[in-house]
Structure 1
Amino acid sequence: MDCSYFDAGVCRSCTLMGVPYAEQLAGKDRHARELLAPYGDASWLPPVASAESGYRNKAKMVVSGTVDAPTIGILDEAGRGVDLRACGICAPGVRAALPVLADFVTRARIEPYSVPERRGELKYVLVTHSPDDELLVRFVVRSEEAVGRIRSRLPELLAALPNARVVTANLQPEHKAVVEGDREIVLTPESSLVMRVGGIPLRLRPQSFFQTNTAVAEALYAQVASWVDEVGPASVWDLYCGVGGFALNVAAPGRRVVGVETSTEAVRSARATASAAGLPLVAFRAGDATAFALAAKSAPELVIVNPPRRGIGAELSGWLEGSGVPSVVYSSCNPKSLAHDLARMPSYRIRTGRVLDMFPQTGHLEVAVLLDRVGA
Structure 2
Amino acid sequence: MAEKLNKNQIVEIDITGMSHQGFGVGKVDDFVVFTEGALPGERIKARLVSIKKDYAYGIISEYIEKSPDRRDPFCPVYDLCGGCSLQHMSYESQLKNKTVRVDDCLKRIGGFTDIPVLPCIGMQEPYEYRNKVQLAVGSTGLGEGNKQRGLSAGFYARRTHQVVYAQQCRIQPGIADQIKDTVLIYMKSNKISAYDETKNKGLVRHIMVRKSVNTDDVMVVIVATENNRVFMKGLTDILLASFQDIKTVVLNLNTKATNVIMGNECVYYYGDGSIQEKLGDLTFRITPLSFFQVNTLQMKVLYDKVKEYAGLTGEEIVWDLYCGAGTIGLYLADQAKKVIGIESVPQAVENAKENTIQNNIRNTEFITGKAEDEINQLIQSTNNIHPDLIIVDPPRKGCHERLLSSLCELRTQKLIYVSCNPSTLARDLKYLNEHGKYEIKKVQPVDMFPWTEHVETVVLLKRLEK
TM-score, normalised relative to structure 2: 0.73
- Whether 1:367 aligns to 2:457 is yes
Give the CA deviation at 1:69.
5.2
CA distance in 2, matches of 1:293, 1:371: 19
Distance 1:254 1:87, change over 3 A: closer
Q: Is the 8 A contact 1:204 1:243 kept in 2?
A: no
Give unpaired runs (5+ residues) of structure 2: 1-72, 141-148
Q: Tell me the equivalent position of 1:169.
A: 251
Please say which of residues 196-205 and 78-87 is displaced more in the overlay. 78-87
Give the CA deviation at 1:309.
1.1
Amino acid aligned to 1:172: N
Q: Tell me the equivalent position of 1:72.
A: 153
Give the CA deviation at 1:47.
2.0
CA distance in 1, matches of 2:113, 2:232: 54
CA distance in 2, matches of 1:108, 1:302: 57
CA distance in 1, matches of 2:113, 2:362: 36
CA offsets per residue over residues 311-353 of structure 1, 9 Å max, x none? Answer: 1221212221222222111111111111122232222221111
Give the CA deviation at 1:152.
5.7
Give the CA deviation at 1:220.
0.5
CA distance in 1, matches of 2:412, 2:112: 17
Correspondence list, 1:134-153, <5 A: 134-144=217-227, 146=228, 149-151=231-233, 153=235
Which residue, out of 316, 336, 343, partners 2:430?
A: 343
Q: Tell me the equivalent position of 2:299.
A: 217
Amino acid aligned to 1:139: I
CA distance in 2, matches of 1:262, 1:88: 34
Structure with greater proportional helix content: 1
Secondary structure at the counterpart of residue 35 of structure 1 = helix
Give the CA deviation at 1:290.
2.5
CA distance in 1, matches of 2:366, 2:113: 32
Give unpaired runs (5+ residues) of structure 1: none
Q: Tell me the equivalent position of 2:89.
A: 19
Please say which of residues 17-26 and 265-274 is displaced more in the overlay. 265-274
Distance 1:260 1:121, change over 3 A: same
Which residue, out of 56, 61, 67, partners 2:130?
A: 56
Which residue, out of 235, 238, 241, partners 2:317?
A: 235
Q: Is the 8 A contact 1:79 1:116 kept in 2?
A: no
CA distance in 2, matches of 1:250, 1:282: 10
Identity of aligned residues (%): 28
Correspondence list, 1:323-334, <5 A: 323-334=410-421
Give the CA deviation at 1:222.
0.7
Secondary structure at the counterpart of residue 167 of structure 1 = strand
Which residue, out of 374, 391, 394, partners 1:307?
A: 394
CA distance in 1, matches of 2:323, 2:114: 28
- Whether 1:47 aligns to 2:120 is yes
Which residue, out of 48, 69, 74, partners 1:2?
A: 74
CA distance in 2, matches of 1:199, 1:85: 36
Amino acid aligned to 2:131: N
Which residue, out of 276, 282, 286, partners 1:204?
A: 286
Q: How big is the alpha-carbon RMSD for the aligned residues of Structure 1 and Structure 2?
A: 2.5
Which residue, out of 327, 333, 355, partners 1:245?
A: 327
Q: Is the 8 A contact 2:314 2:336 kept in 1?
A: no
CA distance in 2, matches of 1:235, 1:107: 58
Distance 1:186 1:304, change over 3 A: farther
CA offsets per residue over residues 214-249 of structure 1, 9 Å max, x none? Answer: 111010011101111258761011122223221111
CA offsets per residue over residues 110-169 of structure 1, 9 Å max, x none? Answer: 32112333320111112111011112222221123x366324643333222332223222
Larger Rg: 1 or 2?
Answer: 2
Correspondence list, 1:80-99, <5 A: 80-99=162-181
Amino acid aligned to 2:247: R
Q: Is the 8 A contact 1:355 1:365 kept in 2?
A: yes
Q: Tell me the equivalent position of 2:198.
A: 116
Give the CA deviation at 1:177.
2.0
TM-score, normalised relative to structure 1: 0.90
Q: Is the 8 A contact 1:208 1:265 kept in 2?
A: yes
Amino acid aligned to 2:135: M
Give the CA deviation at 1:278.
2.5
Give the CA deviation at 1:54.
1.4
Secondary structure at the counterpart of residue 24 of structure 1 = helix
Distance 1:147 1:211, change over 3 A: farther
Secondary structure at the counterpart of residue 311 of structure 1 = coil
Q: Is the 8 A contact 2:168 2:174 kept in 1?
A: no
Secondary structure at the counterpart of residue 18 of structure 1 = coil
Which residue, out of 103, 111, 118, partners 1:33?
A: 103
CA distance in 1, matches of 2:313, 2:460: 10
Secondary structure at the counterpart of residue 117 of structure 1 = coil
Correspondence list, 1:285-324, <5 A: 285-296=367-378, 297=380, 298=384, 299-324=386-411
CA distance in 2, matches of 1:315, 1:148: 52
Please say which of residues 235-244 and 285-294 is displaced more in the overlay. 285-294
Aligned residues, how many?
A: 372
CA distance in 2, matches of 1:40, 1:239: 28
CA distance in 2, matches of 1:180, 1:263: 15
Please say which of residues 317-326 and 259-268 is displaced more in the overlay. 259-268
